[in-house]
Structure 1
Amino acid sequence: MADPVSLSAFPVAMRWLNAPEAYTVEGYDKLVVSAAGGTDLFTDPADGTRHDNAPALVGALNGDFCVSALVRVDLTATFDAAALVLHSGPDTWAKLCVEASPQGSATVVSVVNRGVSDDCNSFRADPAAADVRLRAGRTGSAYVFHVRVDDGPWELIRYFALHDEAEVGFLAQSPTGAGTTVRFEEIAYSAERIADVRDGS
């Protein structure tokens, strides 16, 4: 899995942070990733326990960017998730997920890790019932996460700094389950800066 991976919709070659059980690149803008059971990216703020074995395909982009994808995911077990990830290193990263909550609902979750992780649930968004798109962007020295459901507006989820250059890409996880498969469809890249991070334009 050391060989670089090329996605036509992504402007640079990408690399795996952790190898998936399987993956396929389909056409111009689709990536399918299968994560094994017991895979996660999270550092517990209570005791510092680190989990960093989730498969993630990332690439380094220069300057401002937006990367988005429509996600399809089998949310079978608690915390199964599809995510966009920003990765500077083991201690500095962020992810934007559609994740299975302990209550059994598909939920938009974001985590920013600076040594340890925070964990923020935003709203329910079920990719089995609606088109859920995740977007990660860099604007100057800051990063931003947005989510769009069906034809609605881009909703701001997080606006933050990592203080280091971050690779961006796609992650699948199944911390408590036997594994899951994520489809990232309609992958899109733009080098344009988001004009207004708060209204998503």
Structure 2
Amino acid sequence: MPAPLAVPGIPFELTPSEGSEWAVTDDRVEVLAPPHSDIFVDPSGESGTAAETLLNAVTLLGAPGEGDFVFAARVGADFRATFDAAVLLLWADERHWAKLCFERSPAGSLMVVSVVTRGVSDDANSFTVDGDEVWLRISRVGRVFALHASTDGDWWHFVRAFALGDDLGEVRLGFEGQSPTGDGCAVRFDRASFARTTLGDLRNGS
């Protein structure tokens, strides 16, 4: 089992996935996502690389404990191939998880993308970003989780709200890097923060 890491701004330790090499500095977390790495459970059930269940992305996750929270970071990546992404990841088990991605689209633009998996994954594009960094945020209010994104770290665009299910046990929270179609992607996270607080309104950008 890899040794846990302390990340500035996060009050609990995060554990790297097997074989991943995360670098933590004063205000920055970095990792190189390996080639053809992803976390995705294709809903089609068909065979072939694009439809396989892939759970081989590099992750850095920890347990936030019970109660509501707000978790955020500014993210960026060395985007080279389609679906290269820096990701905030919420994980319950291999069939129940959600990720909020800053991702390169098939058209070559950079987008905020969300995926929620309850048995199989869905996939939803949110908005394009003019620049190579964006703020991402995952919040919990009771049994509901909310995803938001921001271009300035101040005004937050609502992406989606959802529940993963009941009786899932303790969730884990943290960072992920992926390069599903490419030969690897360097991803980075800075200004990470975690607050034990409750959002007043999941949809209003506060």
**TM-score (norm. length: structure 2):** 0.91
Instruction: Check whether the contact 1:72–1:127 (CA below 8 A) recurs between aligned residues.
Output: no
**Residues of 2 paired with 1:159 and 1:43: CA distance?**
20
Q: Which amino acid aligns with 1:147?
A: A
**Identity rate, percent:** 42
Is 1:73 aligned to residue 86 of structure 2? no
Closer/same/farther in 2, CA of residues 127 and 56 from structure 1, 3 Å limit: farther
Q: Which amino acid aligns with 1:24?
A: A
**Residues of 1 paired with 2:7 and 2:158: CA distance?**
27
User: Which of 171, 175, 183 is matched with 2:176 structurally?
Assistant: 171
Instruction: Check whether the contact 1:71–1:127 (CA below 8 A) recurs between aligned residues.
Output: no
Deviation at 1:127, TM superposition (A): 3.8
Provide structure 1 residue ranges, at least 5 long, that are not aligned to the other structure. none
Question: Can you list the C-alpha shifts for 1:122-141, whole angstroms capped at 9, x where unaligned?
Answer: 1101442xx51000111111
Look up the match of 2:158. Answer: 156
**Residues of 1 paired with 2:103 and 2:2: CA distance?**
28
Provide structure 2 residue ranges, at least 5 long, that are not aligned to the other structure. 47-51
Is 1:4 aligned to residue 4 of structure 2? yes
Look up the match of 2:126. Answer: 122
Structure with greater strand share of residues:
1
Q: Which amino acid aligns with 1:114?
A: R
Look up the match of 1:84. Answer: 88
Instruction: Check whether the contact 1:96–1:108 (CA below 8 A) recurs between aligned residues.
Output: yes
**Residues of 2 paired with 1:171 and 1:195: CA distance?**
28
Q: Which amino acid aligns with 2:8?
A: S
* 3-state secondary structure, aligned to 1:47: coil
Look up the match of 1:196. Answer: 201
Is 1:136 aligned to residue 138 of structure 2? yes
Instruction: Check whether the contact 2:2–2:17 (CA below 8 A) recurs between aligned residues.
Output: no
Q: Which amino acid aligns with 1:26?
A: T
Question: Can you list the C-alpha shifts for 1:78-136, whole angstroms capped at 9, x where unaligned?
Answer: 000001000001111000001111111101110000110000011101442xx510001
**Residues of 1 paired with 2:138 and 2:195: CA distance?**
11
Aligned residues: 197
Deviation at 1:19, TM superposition (A): 3.4
**Residues of 2 paired with 1:11 and 1:19: CA distance?**
24
**TM-score (norm. length: structure 1):** 0.93
Q: Which amino acid aligns with 2:24?
A: V
Deviation at 1:23, TM superposition (A): 2.0
Deviation at 1:18, TM superposition (A): 4.4
Is 1:23 aligned to residue 27 of structure 2? no
**Residues of 1 paired with 2:28 and 2:63: CA distance?**
19
Tell me how large the CA RMSD over aligned residues is: 1.5
**Residues of 2 paired with 1:153 and 1:11: CA distance?**
24
- Give the 4+ runs in structure 1 shifted more than 2 A: 16-20
Closer/same/farther in 2, CA of residues 87 and 127 from structure 1, 3 Å limit: farther
Instruction: Check whether the contact 1:139–1:194 (CA below 8 A) recurs between aligned residues.
Output: yes
